[in-house]
Structure 1
Amino acid sequence: MAQVALPELRAHGYSGRLSTGTLAAAGTLGIMIPPSVPLVIYAVLTQESIGKLFMAAVIPGLMAMTGYMLVIRILVTLDPKAGPAGEKHSWTERLTATLAVLPVMGVFAVVIVGIYGGWANPTEAASIGAAACGILAIISGGMRWKGIKESLMGTAYATAMIFMVLLGADLLNSGLAITQLPTELAEWVKTSGLPPMAVLIAILLIYVLLGCVMDSLAMILLTIPIFYPMVMGLDFFGMSVPDKSVWFGILALMVVEIGLVHPPVGMNLFIIQKLAKDVPYMETAKGVMPFLASDFMRIGFLIAFPAISLWLVRSM
């Protein structure tokens, strides 16, 4: 998305900080809004219903999206030069532009219907979507031999860069697993004698710290078997075990999401930085701070009001 959106944002005069901060933060929404691979992993580890977790993630995901939009609105209100207003267009031009993207929206609909209809898993649906977009690009005339070469080289470059980041994270994950640091942290929380809510906050803070040095799947795989029984044994607002299981899954996912953009070593920050060579890393780190504030506020709401994530589940 950064390869597509970043040049457009810069071309329209958006500041480097706002552009990279927005893209880094918005890149985490895919984890929160179903279908979500980390949620599936959590469901497998805890024997929880994937459908219930997907339903529970809908409202927090919409809250994340709304919170980010409000952050952008506040930032451009305080500093109009950071996001200058674009040129106004007539309704005819808007309708024409909307019709032009209908084929892409059709591809999106096919992919989503395929996943939820059960005739394609997420990987297969992604392959279908990529093939359909390629066909559209050829039909529209935007994809010729030069475009194909540039696409292949760009994909190879971006994939290699991301895999280098993941390889480094995997080496660090192995080191953490060997030293048993996550286990020791969990044991410290368990034996601390803190009240249930303080234990939960300590667990979430540990996730934030681990998110600075580990990728999302590694965090879930290493810590859920430790933290899950601990949380299930605590009393939160008199909730039943099934409700606690879903609620904790959404909270853990949200904190994992924060880890991807939390300075100093959030993975999304490095990916955006590699693509936005003209923006200093510190500018990108400062750019995500308002979005992190929105995330922490959202987590506070879900801790105080579990019904936000459980309402759709209970209505199933």
Structure 2
Amino acid sequence: MLDAPVLMLLLGVAVMIGMIILHVPVGVSMALTGIVMFSMQVSLPAALGTVAPEVLAAFVSRDLVTIPLFLLMGSLAARAGISGDIYNLASAWIGHLRGGLAMGTVVGCGGFGALCGSSVATAATMGRVALPEMRARNYSPELAVGAIASGGTLGILIPPSIVMVIYAVLTEQFVLDLFLAGILPGLLAIVLYCLAIVITTWIKPSVAPSVPAQSWGQRVRAMRDAWRAVVVIALVVGGLYVGLFTVVEAASVGVGLTLIFFLLRYPRSDWRRALELVAVETAQSTAMIFLMVVGASLFSYFLTLTQAPQAIVTQVEAANFSPYMVIFLLMLMYLFLGAVFDAIAAMILTTPFVFPLVTGLGFDPIWWGIVLVMVIEIGMITPPIGMNVFVLNGVAPDISLRRIYRGIVPFLLADLVRLALVIAFPVIALALLP
């Protein structure tokens, strides 16, 4: 039999999911559910009294302020052409290999992910840059879009990452530790994606025709043209890890640099309109994320009152499941949620009661954060939702969703191998921590 707190939790989750099915925004659904369920157990004035403090806490949070800064930096970098420079550099050096342009796309996604911290932004930007190049050289559309959609997920794993910032806020972890823990899994992802491309092109060479190697002069020119990306990444990421900047300061420096490069690219008559588009994009994404964070905070009041997380931990311990069996079941849950809901929303929805369960079983909270981010990555390319898939379908509407999903299969297998490795060997995520 389920305890009363768990039944109350299931009721609240059912109400919330029902609202989401009715197309109520996720953040609003969490907030309304939390307020209503809280008021049923205490009082409506007490429930309403939690709203203002949580909204204020979100807007004064030093960690959350990095989200609009990183979003702004990524948008400015994309419109300044820095993403194209990163891709051109990667393709100049490895593009002549069979499948080299796809591998260059994956590497380019990793580089741009270090600037914007967003999976969707990385997939959309690299889709506009890399897809025309690969199609012009007769690459299979499946391989091309599979590399871009999968490589785009690196935007939330290669630090700095917006999803890691949200996880740090929800679980009260140090965000820089999460950034450090994401480096080796991010590099492993690039290696495994490139290996997937090698195997795919070995099995079916026609999907990636050979491309002539660029001259050494062209390679040097590509390195010279990519200086802006090198400067931004070196100052932002390098300065962050050597202790020169805090996370907020690093994000601010990145915005300042990319703004200068943005203004230098556009004529005076054009930059105002482009800057307006950048501001609107950043404001829309920031509002959506902040609304979900506030909603999750209000929902957590209801969870705390029911003591459902503690009851779940107690019931799992009583069931005598091994800790890794619990992790396996949670992975299945997140893969299902990622296929049905927006992956970031799934994380925010579940963290308030999953996090106490995982830490209660003795797992490291930083390691769990990296594992959770990797599962979210898989959700970004898993049908029927797969946000990156729909982004690419918008960039290239002539490529059907079926073909995009077919192209993702080799990369999805690589993701599952990486997930298994990090779960089996936590040192992959924790090796760089102080």
Common topology (TM > 0.5): yes
Q: Is the 8 A contact 1:115 1:125 kept in 2?
A: no
**Equivalent residue letter for 1:83:** A
1:24-39 matches, within 5 Å, as 24-39=149-164
Q: 1:71 aligns with which of 179, 189, 196?
A: 196
Q: Is the 8 A contact 2:135 2:141 kept in 1?
A: yes
Distance 1:100 1:69, change over 3 A: same
Partner of 2:340: 213
How many pairs align? 288
Query: 1:147, CA displacement in angstroms?
Result: 9.3
Partner of 2:261: 133
Whether 1:229 and 2:349 are equivalent positions in the alignment is no
Distance 1:99 1:29, change over 3 A: same
Q: 1:299 aligns with which of 408, 419, 422?
A: 419
Partner of 1:14: 139
Q: Is the 8 A contact 2:335 2:379 kept in 1?
A: yes
Query: 1:144, CA displacement in angstroms?
Result: 8.1
1:237-248 matches, within 5 Å, as 241=362, 244-248=364-368
SS in 2 for 1:27: helix
Counterpart CA distance in 2 for 1:286 and 1:260 is 15
**Equivalent residue letter for 1:298:** R
Partner of 1:238: none
- List per-residue Cα deviations over 1:199-246 (Å, max 9, x = no partner): 110011111111122233322222112111112222xxxxxx5x6222
Partner of 2:110: none
Bigger relative contact order, structure 1 or 2 (CA pairs below 8 A, ≥6 apart): 1
Counterpart CA distance in 2 for 1:88 and 1:148 is 40
SS in 1 for 2:385: coil
Partner of 1:253: 373
**Equivalent residue letter for 2:202:** T
Q: 2:208 aligns with which of 83, 92, 115?
A: 83
Whether 1:48 and 2:184 are equivalent positions in the alignment is no
TM-score by length of 2: 0.58
**Equivalent residue letter for 1:48:** Q
Distance 1:284 1:303, change over 3 A: same
Query: 1:271, CA displacement in angstroms?
Result: 0.4
Whether 1:196 and 2:331 are equivalent positions in the alignment is no
Distance 1:251 1:147, change over 3 A: same
Query: 1:145, CA displacement in angstroms?
Result: 5.7
Counterpart CA distance in 2 for 1:73 and 1:30 is 22
Counterpart CA distance in 2 for 1:282 and 1:257 is 19
Distance 1:231 1:104, change over 3 A: closer
Counterpart CA distance in 2 for 1:311 and 1:259 is 26
Q: Is the 8 A contact 1:59 1:309 kept in 2?
A: yes
Range that drifts further, 45-54 or 104-113: 104-113
**Equivalent residue letter for 1:79:** K
1:86-125 matches, within 5 Å, as 86-113=211-238, 117-118=244-245, 120-121=248-249, 124-125=252-253
Partner of 2:122: none
Query: 1:24, CA displacement in angstroms?
Result: 0.6
Counterpart CA distance in 1 for 2:398 and 2:276 is 21
Counterpart CA distance in 1 for 2:172 and 2:270 is 49
Distance 1:266 1:51, change over 3 A: same
**Equivalent residue letter for 2:422:** L
Q: Is the 8 A contact 2:341 2:385 kept in 1?
A: no
Q: Is the 8 A contact 1:107 1:133 kept in 2?
A: no
**Equivalent residue letter for 2:401:** Y
SS in 1 for 2:340: coil
SS in 2 for 1:212: helix
SS in 2 for 1:7: helix
Distance 1:83 1:30, change over 3 A: same
Query: 1:193, CA displacement in angstroms?
Result: 4.8
Query: 1:130, CA displacement in angstroms?
Result: 3.8
Q: Is the 8 A contact 1:24 1:268 kept in 2?
A: yes
Counterpart CA distance in 2 for 1:80 and 1:130 is 39
Partner of 1:308: 428
- Structure showing greater Rg: 2
TM-score by length of 1: 0.78
Counterpart CA distance in 1 for 2:377 and 2:204 is 27
